[in-house]
Amino acid sequence: MATTLMPAPSPYRFFDVTVERTCLMGPSTLRVTFAGADLARFASLGCDQSLSLFLPRPGQAAPLVPLDAGDGWWAAWRALDEDVRAVMRSYTLRALRRDPDEIDIDFVLHGDLGPASRWAARAVPGQRAMVLGPQVADNPSVRFRLPEDADSVLIWADETALPAAEAILRTLPAGLPADVWIDVPRTADRRPLMTPADARIAWLAGDAAPGAARGERALEAVRAAARRGTRPYAWLAGEASAVKALRRLLVGERGVDRRNVMFAGYWRTGACEEDLRAQRAAKAART
């Protein structure tokens, strides 16, 4: 008798959520807790789980996402008028909790310079949003993968990657040497970071070095640090040009195996997320 194999579920699905509460984590960061019955199916084991968040435009009760387009939702969303379609931004999951089902997402506050920042600053309980996130715990949007033979860890994160770095630090093996640099806009953005690792944590604050660009601060700090371990694993996330410069430093000057350097450009100076996604889509179409 032939056996029919059922297709594996897609790693991702849309989740309807509402704002449960907000908490100011510092002058540059606001944590928004989302709840919703759909989140019972939200699954992630990753420390740097990325997801897409869809927010309503001013005057809308809920974000407009063409879910009826199925797998073609991206093209259908792009075809909608920019003033109507939902604001879409990528974020890192800060925390997932059960009983009740909730997720935390940290927003970097830019005043009125960006639609997501404006929305977060005015968010109140009950406001609706939508998340495109994982329903399979181990999925391609989890990037931090500590090799079994790694004898040390190196982390650089800016304020956009701080939630992921904070989660990663909590899960590192006890006593593992870890060198960590967190680059934030203001000294007041610093907060305690808990980890069982043997961690040296340095905060690089923009207001403490106003003449140095973000990438310059990072390169200077990492270059000056004594290397620990012979098989380091590096995780670099944040502004794209700073991440690329740090990767070149580690691979080219420090001799770190490029296969053990995870790097992710969460954003790029001078470009919005729609621009970056469109560029990636165009590049993929050419290959």
The pTM score is: 0.88
Per-residue confidence (pLDDT) for residue 210, from 0 to 100: 73
Q: How does pLDDT run across 158-209, given as a tens digit for each residue?
A: 999 999 999 999 999 999 999 999 999 999 999 999 999 999 999 999 888 7
How far is residue 136's CA from residue 44's CA, in Å, rounded to a whole number? 7
| CATH 2.40.30.10-classified regions of the chain | 12-134
Q: Which two tokens stand for residue 196?
A: 């069982």
Per-residue confidence (pLDDT) for residue 216, from 0 to 100: 82
User: pLDDT: is 92 or 211 the higher one?
Assistant: 92
Q: How does pLDDT run across 97-135, given as a tens digit for each residue?
A: 999 999 999 999 987 778 999 999 999 999 999 999 999
Per-residue confidence (pLDDT) for residue 226, from 0 to 100: 87
Q: Which CATH architecture has domain 12-134?
A: Beta Barrel (2.40)
| CATH 3.40.50.80-classified regions of the chain | 152-267
Per-residue confidence (pLDDT) for residue 114, from 0 to 100: 86
Range list of H helices, the chain: 73-79, 115-121, 162-171, 214-224, 240-248, 273-286
The Cα-based distances of 7 to 4, 115, 127, 132 in angstroms read 9, 38, 35, 20
Model confidence at 66, pLDDT cuts 50, 70, 90, reads very high
Residues 191, 132, 74: CA angle, nearest 5 degrees = 130
Chain centre distance of CA 248: 22
78, pLDDT greater than 70: yes
Question: For 152-267, which CATH class?
Answer: alpha beta
